[in-house]
Amino acid sequence: MNILQCSICKKPFQTLGGKVCNECLDKMDKDFVVVRDYIYENSHADMDKVSEETGVSKQVIMYLLKEGRLVIEDSKGTGGGGILLCEVCKKPINTGRMCRDCKDKVASKMQKSITAHKVPEHGKSDPYNFKSAAKLKNR
């Protein structure tokens, strides 16, 4: 069992893989509905406004956005009004952690490294075995 600091309330909790404690998750499920409905009706509201009007902390809204549960409508075609930025190229995005371009790049990179691993290495002797073989010879 791992102990982690909850990324919302900062209390330590036993995690099963998540970054947020059960208490906050429960609360966030309710917050999520409130924020989602608010954004649905006020698609051009910015983060401050959403937080103010819904009473949900920006931290929680940010978390929901990064998890991809909330999506900000882009009003000017720039995506998210600069609330969320791609973690790679810093372009404004609507949801998640990366823009579509960077996601694609990462995905294709991962695929490449997987196929690279699959290629068997022929004719390379194990350096450890080589050394011990030389030792045996010198004896």
Residue numbers of the site for Zn ion (CB under 5 A)? Answer: 6, 8-9, 21, 24, 86, 88-89, 91, 99, 102
Least gap, CB of 28 to Zn ion (angstroms): 9
DSSP SS3 for 80 = helix
Beta bridge partners of 15: 2
User: Which CB, 62 or 102, lies closer to Zn ion?
Assistant: 102
Structure tokens at 136: 């045996």
Closer residue to Zn ion (CB): 37 or 101 = 101
Between 33 and 89, CB nearer to Zn ion: 89
Q: Compute the residue count for the chain.
A: 139
CB of 64 to Zn ion, least distance (A): 14
- Taking the complex as a whole, the smallest distance from the CB of residue 26 to Zn ion amounts, in Å, to 10
If you write DSSP's letter for every residue of 22-72 in order, what string do you get? Answer: HHHHHHHHHHHHHHHHHHHH-TT--HHHHHHHH---HHHHHHHHHTTS--P
Q: How far is the CB of 6 from Zn ion (least distance, A)?
A: 3
How many whole angstroms separate alpha carbon 60 and alpha carbon 24? 9
Q: Which of 67, 69, 65 is nearest to 80 (CA)?
A: 65
Quick one: 42 or 88, whose CB is closer to Zn ion? 88
